[in-house]
Amino acid sequence: MTNLTSLTLAEARDGLAKKSFTSVELTDAHIVAIENARVLNAYVLETPVHARAMAAAADAAIAKGEAGPLGGIPLGIKDLFATRDVRTTACSKILGNFIPPYESTVTSQLWRDGAVMLGKLNNDEFAMGSANETSAFGPVVNPWRREGSDAKLVPGGSSGGSASAVAAGLCLGATATDTGGSIRQPAAFTGTVGIKPTYGRCSRWGDVAFASSLDQAGPITRTVRDAAILLRSMAGHDPKDSTTVDRAVPDYEAAIGR
């Protein structure tokens, strides 16, 4: 079988549709990869039991022909997004073991579309940093090295866990947030693709705020196509966030190369 953690999100989506492998198999491969790469400190909370249950549900939906656009795709979630019944701390001891009784709009839309949550990703504390060295859970390590050197490099921040996890094959895509470069800079540091969408394209409801007039959620992925696929599910008008734009979400994937 193909190394499932080396697939792009688009390739995994197509493989699931063709039944070349199951979401449970795809998810298990990523769970093992995460366990073997803990030295990177990309995840602050692993949720393997939750992930396998979501993957099994996705496989059932695929078998019925009812899969959503992200059906069975394992993702990592920046620890700035509230996840119902799953610890969310913004990587700060201030929030301790806060368990949200609600789900952020962005993540709820990912689950609506069939995605699988592998766990919560490391970030600078309250997103205040640009090297992912201020997290209460410790710094994140960039999976890349300079040629001939074993020196550990930073992945950028504040979405360093998201960028490191995607670059290392620990998820097929990740949520991130950007106020003054927190998606774009980590993507540049790790050779991944990061997009800060136009303000108002993605809801901020359920995200831990840094600067509300600048904060915006977006994807970090391996390819432009993957970013387009993930952004389409993340974007959309939200009555709970008055700054979101009330316009239809375009098919970003179809627009690639135009």
Render pLDDT for 24-50 as a digit per residue (tens, 0 to 9).
999 999 999 999 999 999 999 999 999
Q: CATH number of the domain at 209, please.
A: 3.90.1300.10
Could you give phi then psi for residue 137, rounded to 5 degrees?
-95, 5
The yes-or-no answer on residue 182 being catalytic is yes
Cα(183)–Cα(167) distance, integer angstroms? 14
Residue 248 lies in a domain: no
Q: Which one of the listed residues 182, 196, 203, 233 is annotated catalytic?
A: 182
Based on the structure, what is the number of domains in the chain? Answer: 1
Strands (E), the chain: 43-46, 74-78, 116-121, 174-178, 193-194, 216-221
Q: Which one of the listed residues 158, 162, 164, 203 is annotated catalytic?
A: 158
Residue 47 lies in a domain: yes
The yes-or-no answer on residue 78 being catalytic is yes
Do 229 and 70 form a contact (C-beta atoms < 8 A)?
yes
Report how far apart the first and last C-alpha atoms of the chain are (Å, whole number). 34
Instruction: Tell me the per-residue pLDDT of 180-209, one tens digit each, with 9 for 90 and over.
Output: 999 999 999 999 999 999 999 999 999 999
With 0.85 as the threshold, say if the pTM is over it.
Answer: yes
Residue span of the structural domain in which 169 resides: 4-237
